Amino acid sequence: MKEKNKFILMVIIFLACFYLPVEIFPFRNPVFEALTLVRWYAREHVLFCLMPAFFIAGAISLFINQASIIKYFGREANKMLAYGVASISGTILSVCSCTVLPLFSGIYKRGAGLGPATAFLYSGPAINVLAIIMTARILGWKLGVARAVGAVLFSITIGILMHVIFLREERARHPLDDIVVYEGSERRTLAQNALYFASMIGFLVFANWAKPVNDSQGLWVYVYYVKWYIAAGFLSLIGITLIRWFRKNEILSWISASWAFAKQIMPLLLAGVLVAGLFLGRPGHEGFISSRVIEKSVGGNSLSANFFAAIVGAFMYFATLTEVPILQGLIGSGMGNGPALALLLAGPALSLPNMLVIRGIIGTKKTVVYINLVVIMATISGIIFGLITGEPK
């Protein structure tokens, strides 16, 4: 199939999801919930989350020197620097488990080691400053602190374990060179390239700035009401950098590289969202698995309660910040502190759509190990936190 036809087909599928007439269906069941979740995802996350992420990933693959990524994130890089930067990346990006995927793919394909890359993959959606603040204010400071500390330690630990487990394969791996750094990129200074990337990241962050749960959150509320003005400013800055410092053939190559990421990731994400909605429904709505089953399974601080919370969190799709009100309702229904932390540590960083795409980037074996590490560590962390807070079994 020609690239033009692929693009037209993808646009048609996206528009079908965007305008899906779910209201006319005369039934409320898992199929309805799956279709509704797909439409919601298409409307809320494709244009302003995934599209900017694809363009950033395309720019990484073209305009960031491969030697630089290998120097700071490669196998021979300074481990403290590599894992330190990767583990706090979420404080800047504040993206969801799906939006981080093109960025992860970009740095991994340009030569980043598996360890720092997976640390970045986890931390991107997990270490969201606003989400941690909301957790502390709404669910209690203990849970907020545990989430912040746990997320940073998780990203570093998971990255190191992935590196150790697949050390032999990592030594044999050669960065993918199917997309070559554009020679013309050397014309730009470091400051010019930095401004170009900062503009794209700025647009991504502010275009997706979520509305705080209540109006007492000061600065975040104000930013939310002016976010489109800030995002428009960053978009204008992107245009200026492209006009002043980029040649036409560089821009066309950038679009082509971004399209390559979209082809790889978008179909798997939409399929994953559909399946997730079918089985788990949307927040406050039923899928095949009843919410009552979930509520009854996460009380107390038993191994099974923490493990179940981690599994549900890992497979369910959470948009940025939605995990806090969902947990507020679950805790009100009897969810224990331990399982609550287990869900917070596994949920925002993983989802079924996210898993499908990760598999396409690093392979089945590495993906299974990554998922298991997240679930197991979330379960253990939940049990420990439950014991510390005096949660009964």
Where do the structural domains in the chain lie, given as residue ranges?
51-388
Do 192 and 245 form a contact (C-beta atoms < 8 A)?
A: yes
Phi, psi dihedral angles at 97 (to 5 degrees)? -65, -20
Of 316, 268, 318, the residue nearest 289 (C-alpha): 316
Using DSSP, state whether 209 is helix, strand or coil: coil
What's the pLDDT at 341?
Answer: 92
Q: How far is CA 91 from the centre of its chain?
A: 12
Q: Within the chain, which residues score under 50 in pLDDT?
A: 176-181
Of 185, 279, 310, the residue nearest 241 (C-alpha): 185
What's the pLDDT at 230?
Answer: 95
Please tell me the distance from the alpha carbon of residue 300 to that of residue 393, in angstroms, as a whole number: 5
- Going from the C-alpha of 340 to that of each of 215, 304, 337, 346, 376, the distances in angstroms are 25, 13, 5, 10, 15
Please tell me the distance from the alpha carbon of residue 255 to that of residue 246, in angstroms, as a whole number: 13
Max distance between CA atoms of the chain, in angstroms, equals: 64
- Going from the C-alpha of 375 to that of each of 156, 222, 363, the distances in angstroms are 15, 36, 19
Look-up: residue for tokens 């962050």?
205
**What six digits make up the tokens of 223?**
């930013």
Please tell me the distance from the alpha carbon of residue 301 to that of residue 279, in angstroms, as a whole number: 25
pTM of the model: 0.74
Length of the chain in residues, anyone?
393
